[in-house]
């Protein structure tokens, strides 16, 4: 049920902003709000606690909206979520809105994990290669994990392309020990 509600809110917001530039801006704003909600336990506790009056919650959220320079549609969404006691849907709405944005803009998010941060030139080259591979515009989501040792692992949706040294070593180990 929550995913259905989140999808409805995300679709309504996407319909409200319509233009591509506004769609991208709103996606960034939702990402900001969702990450603040996810990463701040005190904020989450405050917003979800029925002991605090709605007026104080509204003031706090409006301060975040103003301070973040968020657009009117995003601010209105926050207000509606607060009124309906559905602020907990923010992360799900964000994920659904990203899906809508990617569909409209013919874009795909690719999580790329490397042992060290990518240099800008290599990042650009990787994005270009992935764009040719997918046939879509690519939004790289770089992650650093020293355990990969070298190479890269790319996740596009639920599909993982693992070109890391750690994966190659694991395959070699499996070949050497066989099916025991």
Residue 93 has pLDDT above 90, yes or no: yes
Alpha carbon distances (Å) from 42 to 34, 37, 84, 120, 125: 14, 9, 21, 36, 41
Digit-coded pLDDT (tens) for 150-159: 888 889 888 8
pTM value surpassing 0.85: no
Q: Would you state the pLDDT for residue 1?
A: 57
Q: Tell me the domains of the chain and their CATH numbers.
A: 2-103 (1.10.520.20), 106-177 (3.40.30)
């Amino acid at each position: 049920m929550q995913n259905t509600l989140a999808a409805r809110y995300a679709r309504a917001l996407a319909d409200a902003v319509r233009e591509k530039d506004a769609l991208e801006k709103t996606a960034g704003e939702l990402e900001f709000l969702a990450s603040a909600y996810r990463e701040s336990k005190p904020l989450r506790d405050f917003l979800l606690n029925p002991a605090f009056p709605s007026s104080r919650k509204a003031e706090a959220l409006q301060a975040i909206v103003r301070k973040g320079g968020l657009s009117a549609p995003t601010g209105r969404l926050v207000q509606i979520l607060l009124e309906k006691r559905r602020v907990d849907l923010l992360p799900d709405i964000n994920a659904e809105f990203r899906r809508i944005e990617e569909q409209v803009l013919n874009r795909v998010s690719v999580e790329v994990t490397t042992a060290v941060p990518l240099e800008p030139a290599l990042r650009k080259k990787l994005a270009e290669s992935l764009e040719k591979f997918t046939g879509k515009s690519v939004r790289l989501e770089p992650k650093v994990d020293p355990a990969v040792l070298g190479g890269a692992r790319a996740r596009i949706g639920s599909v993982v392309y693992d070109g890391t040294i750690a994966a190659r070593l694991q395959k070699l180990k499996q070949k050497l020990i066989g099916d025991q």
